[in-house]
A and B are shown apart, each in its own frame.
Chain A
Amino acid sequence: MRVTVRLFARLRDIAGAAELVRDVPAGATIGTVWAELTREFPDMADYAKSMSVALNADYARMEHAISDGDDVAFLPPVSGGEGTGIPL
Chain B
Amino acid sequence: MRTPLLSIGHEPLALDSLIAAVSDRGAATGSDGAVTSFLGLVRNHNVGRAVTHLEYEAYEALALRSFERIVTEAEARWSGVRLAIHHRIGRIDIGGASVAIAAASAHRGDAFAACRYAIERIKQIAPIWKREFFDGGDVWIEGATADPDDVAARERAERVACA
Seen from chain A, the residues whose Cβ lies within 8 Å of a Cβ on chain B are 6, 8-10, 13, 50-52, 54, 57-59, 73, 75-88
Most chain A CB atoms below 10 A, which of B46, B56, B61, B122 = B61
Specify which of B123, B128, B132 is in contact with A81 (CB 8 Å cutoff). Answer: B123
Chain B 100-136 interface residues, beta-carbon cutoff 8 Å to A: 122-132
A-contact 0/1 string along B29-49, CB 8 Å cutoff: 000000000000000001100
Q: Chain A residue with minimal CB distance to B147?
A: A52
Shortest Cβ distance from residue B37 to the other chain A in the assembled complex, whole angstroms:
20
Give bound CA distance, A76 to B57, whole Å: 12
Q: Chain B residue with minimal CB distance to A13?
A: B140
Q: With contacts A80-B122, A80-B124, A85-B139 known, is A51 near B145, CB below 8 A? A: yes
Q: Is the CB of B146 within 8 A of A78?
A: yes
Give bound CA distance, A88 to B140, whole Å: 8
Give bound CA distance, A86 to B137, whole Å: 11
* Residues of chain A lying within 8 A (CB to CB) of residue B124: 78, 80-81
Seen from chain B, the residues whose Cβ lies within 8 Å of a Cβ on chain A are 46-47, 56-57, 59, 61-62, 65, 122-132, 137-149
Q: Chain B residue with minimal CB distance to A82?
A: B143
Q: Chain B residue with minimal CB distance to A73?
A: B59
Q: Is the CB of A57 within 8 A of B65?
A: yes
Q: With contacts A8-B59, A52-B127, A54-B59 known, is A76 near B140, CB below 8 A? A: yes
* Residues of chain B lying within 8 A (CB to CB) of residue A50: 142, 145
* Residues of chain B lying within 8 A (CB to CB) of residue A78: 123-129, 142-146
Shortest Cβ distance from residue A30 to the other chain B in the assembled complex, whole angstroms:
14
Give bound CA distance, A10 to B132, whole Å: 12
* Residues of chain A lying within 8 A (CB to CB) of residue B125: 78
Give bound CA distance, A40 to B130, whole Å: 26
* Residues of chain B lying within 8 A (CB to CB) of residue A73: 59, 62, 127
Give bound CA distance, A79 to B125, whole Å: 9
Q: Is the CB of B142 within 8 A of A83?
A: yes
Give bound CA distance, A25 to B124, whole Å: 34
Q: Is the CB of B143 within 8 A of A88?
A: no
Q: Chain A residue with minimal CB distance to B148?
A: A59
Q: Chain A residue with minimal CB distance to B122?
A: A80
A-B contact pairs, 25 of them (CB 8 A): A9-B57, A10-B140, A13-B140, A50-B142, A52-B145, A54-B59, A57-B65, A59-B62, A59-B148, A73-B127, A75-B146, A76-B129, A76-B142, A77-B144, A78-B125, A78-B128, A78-B129, A78-B146, A79-B143, A80-B122, A81-B143, A82-B143, A84-B141, A88-B138, A88-B139
